[in-house]
Amino acid sequence: MRARTTRFLAATAIAAGACLLLTGTASAVPAANGVPEVLAAAGSDTIFNVTAPIFANANSGTWNTDPDNYVNVPPVLTGTTTFTVPADPFNAAVTYNATTNVPPDGSSAGKAALKASADAGNGLIDLARSSSPRATSDPSTFEYYGFAKDGVTWASSATGSGAGLSLTITQLRSIYNGTITNWNQVGGGNAAIKLYLPQVGSGTLSFFTGTVLGFDPATISGLTINRFQENDATSIPAANQATAIVPFSVAQWVAQGNSVSPNKRAGFTVNKLTGAGSDGAPVTGSAGAYVPAFADTFLGARTVFYVLDNRTVSYGQAKRAVGFDPTDHAATASPLCGGKLAATLTQYGFKPLVANANGITCVKS
- Contact residues toward Ca ion (CB under 5 A) are 33, 35, 37-38, 66, 68, 123, 126, 314, 317
User: Could you tell me the smallest distance in angstroms from the CB atom of residue 39 to Ca ion?
Assistant: 6
Nearer to Ca ion, 230 or 309 (CB): 309
Q: How far apart are CA 7 and CA 58, in angstroms?
A: 11
Backbone angles phi, psi at 305, to 5 degrees: -140, 155
User: Could you tell me the smallest distance in angstroms from the CB atom of residue 71 to Ca ion?
Assistant: 8
SS3 (DSSP) at 214: coil
Nearer to Ca ion, 45 or 66 (CB): 66
Nearer to Ca ion, 66 or 328 (CB): 66
CB-closest chain residue to Ca ion: 123
Nearer to Ca ion, 35 or 186 (CB): 35
Q: How far apart are CA 329 and CA 349, in angstroms?
A: 25
Q: Give me the half-sphere count of Cα atoms (radius 13 Å) on the Cβ side of residue 1.
A: 17
- What are the residues whose beta carbons fall under 8 Å from the beta carbon of 204, sequence distance 6 or more? 45, 46, 131, 152, 198, 230, 231, 247, 249
- Amino acid present at 253: W
Q: How far apart are CA 291 and CA 143, in angstroms?
A: 29
User: Could you tell me the smallest distance in angstroms from the CB atom of residue 67 to Ca ion?
Assistant: 7
User: Could you tell me the smallest distance in angstroms from the CB atom of residue 242 to Ca ion?
Assistant: 45
For the chain, report the end-to-end CA distance as a whole number of angstroms.
34
Asked if residue 323 lies in contact with residue 362, where contact means CB atoms within 8 angstroms, the answer is yes
Q: How far apart are CA 142 and CA 185, in angstroms?
A: 45
SS3 (DSSP) at 354: coil
Nearer to Ca ion, 35 or 58 (CB): 35
Nearer to Ca ion, 119 or 296 (CB): 119
Q: How far apart are CA 340 and CA 331, in angstroms?
A: 9
